[in-house]
Structure 1
C-alpha cells in the first residue's frame, strides 16, 4: 500500500485518485501506525513551509516519517512536500525542515511573475527511475513561489527554466521528489507516479 500522508495541507484526493487510476493501492493515512505499515510514503502539500512543519510536529508524525525513511522506505515528496525534505525553509520565517536532503527553500529570484504557475518543460540532468520514459521538453504543471537553493548538484535530476533554473526533480537513495504536481500533469505525471510505484 502506498500511504499518502494527510497533514491537512495537500490536494490529497487528487493524488490518491491518480494512483488509483493507474491501478495502485493508495490510501490517505494520518497516524503513526499506518505510516509504519505502508510500503511507500507520499508527502503531498499545498501551503506554507512553517505551517506544514508545525502540523507534522503537532500530529506526532515528524519522527515516524524520519524513522521510516532512514530505514529505507520509498518516499515521494510533491510540491510543498518536496520542500519539507530539505534542511530549512525561509518562507515567512526560518524553520527547520525534515533534513533528509541538503539545501534551503527560498523565494524564487526571477524577473518573471511570482508565483510560478502553469505548464513548464523539464530538462533532465541525470538518470533516475522516477523519470523513466520521459524526455527533455516534457511538460509538467507547477504552482509555487519558493524553490530549492544550495542543494547538492548530484541530487538534482531535472530542472525547469523560469528566469532562473529551478530544481524540479531531486532524488537521493530511497527519496524522490517533484517540485511540480504529477497528479495535475496529465500522462507525463501519471508516468512519474507509475515509475514510483514500480520501484516497490
Structure 2
C-alpha cells in the first residue's frame, strides 16, 4: 500500500492586529491545515485558504485591514475564486457598512447590508447559542441542528438582501441565530464564507466546521 504524499492545505491567518490569531492557528492545525500567521502579501495571496479574524470595533478593524492591504488581498483572492473565511468582526467588515455609536464606516462591500447594534436585554451576546443552517450547507455538514457555537458580539447584520437574480447562479446560503432578535450567523457565498460566532472557541463543533471549510480548499 502506497502512503499518501499529499500535503495538507496551506492556510494563512491574516495578521492585521485584530483577532484571536493564536487560537485560530491552533484550531486550524487541529482541523488538518498547515497554518501560517502573517500579513505578507505573497503568502496571503498564494495560500490555499485565507482566514480573516476580527475582534473589537468595526471602524478600527477596517483601518487596520486597509493599512495591511487586506482589503486588496481579499478582493484579489475572491476575483480568482480563492477561498476566504471571515470570523466575527472579520465577517462584519465584509458587508457594506458598520454603524457604531452613531458613526458610520464603510466596509468591504462584498455583501450589501449594515452592521448595527444588537437589540437584546443582555448585550453583548456572550456565550453559546444554536444556529439555523439552511439545507445544503457545506459549512455545517455533519453538525446537528441543536449544536451550539460560541458568540461574543454587540453588533450584527439583521437583514439579508442579496439575491442573484439568475437561477443558474447558486444563491448564497445564509444561516441565522437569535439573541433578542434574529441576525445573520454565517454566510456561504462561493469562495467567500464567514461566521459571526467563533469556531476556534466552539470546541468539537468548531473543529468540525473548520474541517468542512478546509476540505473545500
TM interval, shorter chain, is over 0.9
* Counterpart pick for 2:104 among 60, 84, 94: 94
Instruction: State the distance in 2 between where 1:169 and 1:149 align.
Output: 12
Larger radius of gyration between Structure 1 and Structure 2 = 2
TM, length-normalised to structure 2:
0.87
> In angstroms, what is the RMSD of aligned CA positions?
1.4
Runs of 4+ with deviation above 6 angstroms: none
Contact 2:115/2:155, CA 8 A, preserved across alignment: yes
1:134 aligns with 2:148: no
Give the length in aligned residue pairs. 199
Instruction: State the distance in 2 between where 1:140 and 1:183 align.
Output: 10
Tell me the equivalent position of 2:122: 113
1:162 aligns with 2:172: no
Deviation at 1:156, TM superposition (A): 4.8
* Counterpart pick for 1:75 among 75, 84, 87: 84
Tell me the equivalent position of 2:30: 21
Instruction: State the distance in 2 between where 1:86 and 1:156 align.
Output: 15
Q: Which moved more, 1:150-159 or 1:97-106?
A: 150-159
Higher helix share: 1
TM, length-normalised to structure 1:
0.94
Which stretches in structure 1 are left out of the alignment for 5+ residues? none
**What's the CA shift string for 1:60-118, capped at 9, x where partnerless?**
222122111121111110001000111111124211111111211001122x2000000
Quickly say closer, same or farther: Cα 1:159–1:57, change in 2 above 3 A.
same
Which stretches in structure 2 are left out of the alignment for 5+ residues? 1-9, 163-170
